[in-house]
Amino acid sequence: MLFKTIVGAVATAATCLGASLDRVFFFGQNPTNIRMYIYVPDNLAPNPAIIVALHPCGGSARQWFDGTNLPSYADSNGFILIYPSTPNQSNCWDVQNPDSLTHGRGGDALGVVSMVNYAIDRHGADRARVYVMGFSSGGMMTNVLAGSYPDVFEAGAAYSGVPHACFFGARSAMPFSINQTCAQGLQKPAQEWGNFVRNSYPGYAGRRPRMQITHGLADSLVRPQCGYEALKQWSDVLGVAFTRNVTGVPSTEWTQQVYGDGTQLQGFFGEGVGHLPSVNEAQLLRWFGLIN
Ligand SMILES: *[C@@H]1O[C@H](CO)[C@@H](O)[C@H](O)[C@H]1NC(C)=O
Ligand SMILES: *[C@@H]1O[C@H](CO)[C@@H](O)[C@H](O)[C@H]1NC(C)=O
Ligand SMILES: *[C@@H]1O[C@H](CO)[C@@H](O)[C@H](O)[C@H]1NC(C)=O
């Protein structure tokens, strides 16, 4: 406890007041030795929701904590933020790892799920309101987690990511690695993408996470086609068909793609937007149902 307090104090020396981003050392099964950081706001809501926020390649918990305004929303709304952090593969998540692509088998995915269970037990969080979001490698991992652990996540939001299992068969999951097959826009029929998700947890018949997919149309590192492919995948898994495009949502350069009635699946594609963490926090939190 004392150790944790000291580490937390060091990590936030610049801010001084209020809650801090704290490292948790022992949180359960963690086969790939990834790291857990947590932000528990001072005015924690009763039975709080949890958002898992996943950093990009080369990132860290601290970098992604500073990368969006989610911490200030946590302060005002009382939800918990978990920032997993990976020291491996140039700080990229292991989205190519068959262990992460399989329910309960291992990989970074199992470590992240252990963090969620730890936060539920330790802070009385609401098991029915656990969300995941991430950018780039974190967006890819968002789709991996939503596919392999549909029983854990109520909804997900992937920014500049790729479909679940897009990197399956690749030796590394760095978008700038020598194998560009996935990140340059690997296409498969919707049902084939859907089968990857279903096969990651054979026999699972429960509800699936609602998904929001955001991608810049000028992204050359992870091509926008990857966003379209992710929509095809979730469209098949969730059983909702494309309904309509809505231009100018949430702002001029963006087009919203609505599937079904829009409550299960939607996409956002930004004209002239490159490989950027285009997180609109208010829109994200409305998607998760955490603000009105
Ligand atoms: C990840 O990095 C940690 C710390 O260096 C190490 O202990 C662990 O074995 C690595 N995991 C993998 C799968 O490479
Ligand atoms: C490159 O990655 C794709 C999946 O993204 C995989 O199917 C393919 O086998 C990989 N190629 C090589 C040479 O490893
Ligand atoms: C919706 O927008 C996408 C590109 O963002 C386009 O490929 C598709 O044709 C559009 N569909 C309709 C019905 O306008």
Please enumerate in sequence order all residues whose Cβ is within 8 A of that of 156, keeping only pairs 6 or more positions apart, or say none: 131, 132, 133, 142, 143, 145, 146, 209, 210, 211, 212
Q: Which residues pair with 211 in a beta bridge?
A: 156, 265
Q: Does the structure show a pLDDT above 80 at 16?
A: no
Where does ligand 2 bind, in terms of residues with CB under 6 Å?
A: 166-171, 179, 181-182, 186
Listed in sequence order, the residues at least 6 apart from 166 whose beta carbon sits closer than 8 Å to its beta carbon are: 95, 140, 182, 186, 226, 229
Cβ-in-10-Å burial (0-12, 13-18, 19+) of 214 comes to buried
Q: Which atom of ligand 2 is nearest to the CA of 182?
A: 5
Tell me the residue length of the chain: 292
- For residue 14, pLDDT over 80 is answered with no
Tokens read off for 52:
């898992």
- pLDDT average, residue stretch 40-49: 97
* 235 is an active site residue: no
| Predicted confidence (pLDDT) per residue in 204-214, tens digit | 999 999 999 99
Burial class (CB in 10 A: 0-12, 13-18, 19+), 222: buried
Of all protein residues, the one whose alpha carbon is nearest to atom 14 of ligand 3 is 245
Nearest bound ligand to CA 168? Answer: 2
Contacts of 27 (CB under 8 A, 6+ apart): 36, 114, 115, 117, 118
Pick from 148, 110, 143: which is nearest to 214 by CA?
143
Q: What is the mean pLDDT of the chain?
A: 94
Percentage of residues of the chain with pLDDT beyond 90: 91
Task: Find out whether 283 and 249 touch, Cβ atoms under 8 Å.
Answer: no
Give 112 Cα–ligand 1 centroid separation in angstroms. Answer: 14
Confidence of residue 17 (pLDDT cuts 50, 70, 90): low
What is the number of the ligand closest to the CA of 225?
3
For 2-178+198-210+275-288, which CATH class?
A: alpha beta
Question: Helix, strand or coil for residue 235?
Answer: helix
Give the position of tokens 């199992």: 110
pLDDT of residue 290: 98
Predicted confidence at residue 173, as pLDDT, reads 80
pTM: 0.94
Q: Point out the ligand nearest to the CA of residue 101.
A: 2
Q: What is the pLDDT of residue 174?
A: 76
pLDDT band at 8 (very low <50, low <70, confident <90, very high): very low
CA 291 – CA 255 distance, rounded (Å): 22
Contact 246, 255 (CB under 8 A): yes
pLDDT in tens, 55-95: 999 999 999 999 999 999 999 999 999 999 999 999 999 99
Is 73 within 8 Å of 281 (Cβ atoms)?
yes
Ligand 2 mean position, distance from CA 232 (Å): 20
Considering 136, 148, 177, 200, which one is annotated as catalytic?
A: 136
Which pLDDT score is estimated for 103?
98
- Statement: residue 49 has pLDDT above 70: yes
Q: Could you state, in order of their start, the residue ranges of all structural domains in the chain?
A: 2-178+198-210+275-288
| Model confidence band, residue 7 (pLDDT cutoffs 50, 70, 90) | very low
Tens digit of pLDDT for each residue in 91-138?
999 999 999 999 999 999 999 999 999 999 999 999 999 999 999 999
Question: What is the mean pLDDT of the segment spanning 143-156?
Answer: 98
Low-confidence winner among 6-10, 147-151, 217-221 (lowest mean pLDDT): 6-10
The rounded distance, in Å, linking the Cα atoms of 133 and 270 is 18
Report cis status (omega within 30 of 0) of the bond before 189: no
Q: Which helix (H) or strand (E) holds 246?
A: strand 242-247
Task: Tell me which of 226, 232, 245, 246 to substitute to probe ligand 3's pocket, judged by most ligand atoms within 8 Å of the beta carbon.
Answer: 245
